[in-house]
C-alpha cells in the first residue's frame, strides 16, 4: 500500500490555496467599467499599442453587424470590456479542461490496454486507475464552469449561450437545435456518467480480481472495456464539439474530435510516465523497471507525432483551400497568437521527436521527465490556443489568472490522484497477465 506523504499532501493543498487566491484576484480585477476600459484604450492608443478596431472584431463582428446605428466607439469599448471580463473565465476553463483531459486520456489508454490484453502494462494499471479518479470531479468541474459562464457569468465562454447574440445571428440560430444550454448540459452529464460508470466498474473488477479464485472479473472488465471504447470515441468527439469547438460557433472542422483526442491521449500517457517515475523513486513500485518506462516513452513519442499529424492535417487543409468561413479560425491565431501557436508545435513535436527518438534516452527517468514536462506544457498551450482566441481575442496573456488556474487544478489533480492511489495495493495481484508484465523486458 502506498501512503500519501504529508509533504506532497501539503504541497497539493498549498497549490489549491495559492491558485484559488489567484483565481479570485483574476475575477476581481476583470470587471472594468465602461469608463475604465475607455481610458485604458486611450492610454494604449497613446503608447502606440495598436489594438485596432478591425483586428479585435473577430468573434463578435457578425453579432453587431446589423446594428448599424450603434456608435462604433461605444461598440469597440464594450467589445474590449467583454474580452477583459472573459479572461479569468477562460483561464479557469482552459486549466480545468487540461487536467480533466489528462484523466480522460488515461482512462481511454487503460481501456485499450485491457481490451488489447497487453502483456507489458498490467503493473501500471493501479497508477492509471489512480489518475482516472480525477475523471468524475474534473469533468463535472469543466461542465459546471461551462454552464456557469452562461448562467452566473455574462456569457463569458460561449457566445451562443447569449440570447441577444443568437437573436442577431442567423448562423447560430441554425445551430440552436444543438447549441442550447439545456441540451448542452444534458449531453455533458450523459458523457460524464458514461465515463465515470466505466471507471467505477473497471476499478471495482480490478480490485475484486486481486482476491478472486477465477478470471470472471477479468472477463467482465475486458467486456466493459471494449464497450466503453465504442462509447468513448463517440462521446469524446461530441464532447470536443461541445466543450471546445463551440466557443467558435461559426466555425467547424471534421477532424476536431480526433485532434482533441490526440492531445488528451498523449498528455495522459505522459502523466502516467511522470507518476510512475515519481512512485518508483519513492520505492513503492519495485516491479516496474526501465523496460516499462521505455514502452511508455515510446507511446509519448509516437502519440506526439500522431498529434502533430492531426494538427497539421487540420491546419494544412484549411490553409490550402483558404475558404473564408473556415480560414478565419487560423487567421486569428496567426495574427494574435503567433508565439503560442507555433511554439506549441515545437514543444509538442520537435522536442519529443528529437529527445525521445533514441532508445537509450527513453530508459533514463530524468530524461523522460524533462521531455514529459515539455509535452504537458505544450498541450496546455494547445488548449489555450483553442479557447482563448474566441473569448479574449488579442487581450491574452499568461499572467496571474492563467497561472493560478493551473496551480489550482494541478493541486486538485495531485490531491485526488494520490488519494486514490492509497486506496488499493499498487500491484494488480490476480490479473492474468501480471506475471508476464512483471517479467516484461524489451
Partner 1 sequence: MEASKVIHAIYTDDDVLMSAVKKVKAERFHIEEIYTPFPVHGLDKAMGLAPTRIAITAFIYGLIGLTVAIVMMNFIMIEDWPQDIGGKPSFSYIENMPAFVPIMFELTVFFSAHLMVITFYLRSRMWPFKNAENPDPRTTDDHFLMEIAVDGNAEVLESLLADTGAVEINLVDKAH
Residues that bind partner 1 (CB under 8 A): 312, 315-316, 319-320, 322, 357, 359
Residue among 86 and 308 whose Cβ is closer to partner 1 = 308
Pick between residue 178 and residue 315 the one whose CB is nearest to partner 1.
Answer: 315
The CB-of-315 to partner 1 minimum distance in angstroms stands at: 7
Cell numbers standing for residue 306? 500522431
- Evaluate whether 226 touches 117 at the Cβ level (below 8 Å): no
Q: Closer to partner 1 at the Cβ: 47 or 441? A: 441
- Residue 11 or 306: which CB sits closer to partner 1? 306
Q: How far is the CB of 308 from partner 1 (least distance, A)?
A: 11
**Rounded to the nearest 10 degrees, how much is the dihedral formed by the CA atoms of 352, 355, 356, 358?**
150
Q: What is the closest distance, in whole angstroms, from the C-beta atom of residue 314 to partner 1 in the complex?
A: 11
The label of the residue with cell 506475471 reads 435
Nearer to partner 1, 231 or 442 (CB): 442
Cα 435 to Cα 111, 223, 384, 393: the distances in Å are 20, 22, 42, 53
The answer to whether residues 426 and 284 touch, using CB atoms and an 8 Å cutoff, is yes
Q: Which of 383, 314, 320, 318 is nearest to 348 (CA)?
A: 383
- Residue 251 CB-half CA count within 13 A: 28
Distance CA 411, CA 419 (A): 12
Residue with cell 474580452: 83
Contact 314, 253 (CB under 8 A): yes
Q: Where are the alpha helices (DSSP H) in 337-438?
A: 338-345, 351-355, 365-391, 400-421, 434-438
Q: Do the Cβ atoms of 95 and 402 come closer than 8 Å? A: yes
- Tell me how far, at minimum, the Cβ of 357 lies from partner 1, in Å: 7
CA distance readout (Å), 350 to 129, 146, 292, 435: 30, 33, 24, 37
Say how far apart CA 162 and CA 173 lie, in whole Å.
Answer: 11
- Residue 322 CB, nearest approach to partner 1 (Å): 7
Shortest distance (Å) from residue 331 CB to partner 1: 14
319 or 377: whose CB is closer to partner 1? 319
231 vs 315, beta carbon nearer partner 1: 315
Rank residues 195 and 311 by Cβ distance to partner 1 and give the closer one: 311
Q: How far is the CB of 269 from partner 1 (least distance, A)?
A: 23
Pick 14 or 359: Cβ nearer partner 1: 359
Dihedral angle of Cα 237, 239, 241, 244, to the nearest 10 degrees:
-130
Alpha carbon 185 to chain centroid distance? 18
Minimal distance, residue 316 CB to partner 1, in Å = 5
Nearest distance from residue 385's CB to partner 1, in Å? 17
**Distance (Å, whole) CA 251 – CA 243:** 14
Reading the block at residue 50, the C-alpha cell is 495598436
Amino acid at each position: 500500500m502506498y501512503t500519501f506523504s504529508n509533504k506532497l499532501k501539503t504541497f497539493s493543498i498549498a497549490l489549491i490555496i495559492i491558485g484559488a487566491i489567484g483565481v479570485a484576484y483574476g475575477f476581481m480585477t476583470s470587471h472594468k467599467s465602461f469608463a475604465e476600459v475607455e481610458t485604458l484604450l486611450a492610454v494604449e492608443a497613446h503608447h502606440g499599442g495598436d489594438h485596432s478596431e478591425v483586428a479585435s472584431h473577430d468573434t463578435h463582428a457578425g453579432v453587431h453587424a446589423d446594428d448599424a446605428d450603434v456608435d462604433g466607439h461605444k461598440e469597440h469599448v464594450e467589445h474590449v470590456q467583454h474580452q477583459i471580463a472573459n479572461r479569468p473565465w477562460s483561464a479557469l476553463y482552459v486549466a480545468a479542461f487540461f487536467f480533466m483531459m489528462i484523466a480522460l486520456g488515461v482512462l481511454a489508454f487503460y481501456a485499450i490496454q485491457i481490451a488489447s490484453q497487453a502483456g507489458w502494462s498490467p503493473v501500471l494499471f493501479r497508477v492509471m486507475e489512480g489518475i482516472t479518479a480525477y475523471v468524475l470531479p474534473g469533468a463535472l468541474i469543466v461542465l459546471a464552469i461551462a454552464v456557469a459562464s452562461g448562467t452566473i457569468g455574462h456569457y463569458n465562454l460561449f457566445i451562443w449561450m447569449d440570447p441577444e447574440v443568437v437573436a442577431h445571428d442567423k448562423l447560430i440560430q441554425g445551430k440552436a437545435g444543438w447549441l442550447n444550454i439545456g441540451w448542452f448540459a444534458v449531453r455533458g452529464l450523459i458523457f460524464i456518467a458514461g465515463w465515470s460508470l466505466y471507471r467505477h466498474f473497471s476499478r471495482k473488477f480490478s480490485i475484486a480480481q486481486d482476491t478472486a479464485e477465477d478470471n470472471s472479473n477479468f472477463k467482465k472488465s475486458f467486456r466493459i472495456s471494449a464497450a466503453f471504447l465504442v462509447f468513448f470515441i463517440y462521446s469524446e468527439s461530441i464532447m470536443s464539439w461541445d466543450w471546445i469547438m463551440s466557443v467558435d460557433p461559426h466555425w467547424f472542422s471534421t477532424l476536431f474530435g480526433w485532434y482533441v483526442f490526440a492531445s488528451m491521449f498523449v498528455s495522459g500517457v505522459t502523466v502516467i510516465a511522470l507518476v510512475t517515475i515519481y512512485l518508483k523513486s519513492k520505492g513503492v513500485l519495485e516491479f516496474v523497471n526501465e523496460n516499462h518506462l521505455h514502452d511508455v516513452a515510446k507511446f509519448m513519442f509516437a502519440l506526439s507525432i500522431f498529434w502533430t499529424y492531426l494538427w497539421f492535417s487540420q491546419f494544412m487543409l484549411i490553409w490550402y483551400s483558404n475558404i473564408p468561413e473556415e480560414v478565419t479560425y487560423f487567421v486569428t491565431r496567426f495574427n494574435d497568437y503567433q508565439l503560442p501557436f507555433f511554439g506549441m508545435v515545437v514543444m509538442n513535436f520537435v522536442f519529443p521527436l528529437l529527445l525521445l527518438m533514441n532508445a537509450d534516452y527513453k530508459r533514463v527517468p530524468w530524461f523522460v521527465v524533462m521531455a514529459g514536462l515539455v509535452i504537458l506544457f505544450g498541450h496546455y498551450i494547445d488548449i489555450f490556443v483553442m479557447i482563448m482566441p474566441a473569448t479574449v481575442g488579442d487581450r491574452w496573456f499568461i499572467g496571474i489568472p492563467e497561472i493560478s488556474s493551473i496551480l489550482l487544478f494541478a493541486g486538485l489533480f495531485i490531491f485526488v490522484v494520490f488519494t486514490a492511489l492509497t486506496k488499493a495495493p499498487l500491484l494488480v495481484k490476480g490479473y492474468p497477465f501480471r506475471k508476464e508484465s512483471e517479467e516484461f523486458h524489451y
